[in-house]
Amino acid sequence: MHRTATIILILLFILLNAGCTGVYSGDKTPASGTPEKIVVQAPLAPPTAPLFKMAGEVLPDGTPLEIIFYKSVEEATTRVVKGEADFSVLPVNVAAKLYNKGVDISLANVSTWGILYLVSLESDVREWTDLRGEELYVGARGSTPDVLTQYFLSRSGLKDGEAHLTYLDSPEIARMMINGLVKNAVLPEPMLTQVLMNHKEARVIRDFYSDWQQYEGDSTALPQAGMVVLNQFARNYPGTISEFHRAYAGALDWTVANPAEAAPLVEASASIPAPVFVQSMERTRLRFVPGSKARADVDVYLSRLLDFSPEMVGGKLPDEKFYLSD
């Protein structure tokens, strides 16, 4: 009888402690007050270049970093829902949508403030209104580029359908444009730079960031992407959150100030040629802003997306708990 009870207790101990190493696992707090490691996920793209520098580093408090680079937003959101990444770089609207659906996360910071552009091979296209009757290639239907494009077309006076939108993945649009098969497109960096470097007739027509300020006011920024944190992690490790933010902000500032030095890291990690990365940084707006301090810009941005496509933000604006407090 005693032997059976002992076996049961051992099994219970194993079950209760399973999964407590590696990726952050709920309420287990090491005696040191720091996690065993921080898991960060991000897309393979120039806006996350600061993380290429941070990969494999250790925070001043001794916490190691593990960087996971994802290939799709669907992959990233699955990992967030499962709690398999402590921090995740996501489009701001995707973060809001997850929060509104009950995922226990907060917006920790915003770092990407404009990487979308209207580009054309046609000399008579100079404004949004010149796209009346033209075919315009845009990233996936319902994506941020799509909704912002529709917003600018509408604000320019074009009615639905007057510009013919065709949807493809941005890398494919860039390849087709380089080959002259696409005349007008909305592209993010670094795909824009790849087109400009490989087709002599390609020209930047509109900068989404500048147009956003034209319609929303010069003091309003365009918060496209940021980083969310699991709230349980934030509650358990507030000191580590501060250490991570300092390290990330420093890496971001270094990347912006030293694109030529950052380029080899990006080329090795993301297979983006160094010259493309360096030139793309001229049109990639990176700036670290804590989530709570970015709220005014984020609220304006999400409000416009909500007007055009409520599903993009989860049907409503997130409340104040969406923003990680300082």
Q: Chunked in runs of 10, what are the mean pLDDT values of the chain (326 residues)?
A: 40 34 42 81 84 85 90 93 97 96 98 96 97 96 89 94 95 97 97 97 98 95 96 95 94 96 91 94 96 97 92 96 93
pLDDT attached to residue 52: 87
Global confidence as pTM = 0.85
Alpha helices in the chain (DSSP H): 2-17, 49-54, 73-81, 92-100, 144-155, 170-178, 191-198, 208-216, 231-236, 238-257, 259-270, 274-280, 295-308
Q: What is the pLDDT of residue 21?
A: 33
Asked if 42 and 69 count as a contact pair (C-beta separation under 8 A), the reply is yes
Domains by residue range for the chain, with CATH: 32-113+222-322 (3.40.190.10), 116-216 (3.40.190.10)
pLDDT at residue 45 in the model: 77
Give the pLDDT confidence score for residue 33 in this predicted structure. Answer: 80
Residue 144 has a pLDDT of: 86
Distance from C-alpha of 209 to C-alpha of 212, rounded to nearest angstrom: 5
